[in-house]
Amino acid sequence: MPHVIVKMYPGRSEEQKRRLADEIAKDVVAITQCAESVVSVAIEEVDPAEWAEAVYRPDILDKKNTLYKEPGYNPFE
Q: Which residues are catalytic?
A: 2
Enclosing H/E stretch for 4: strand 3-8
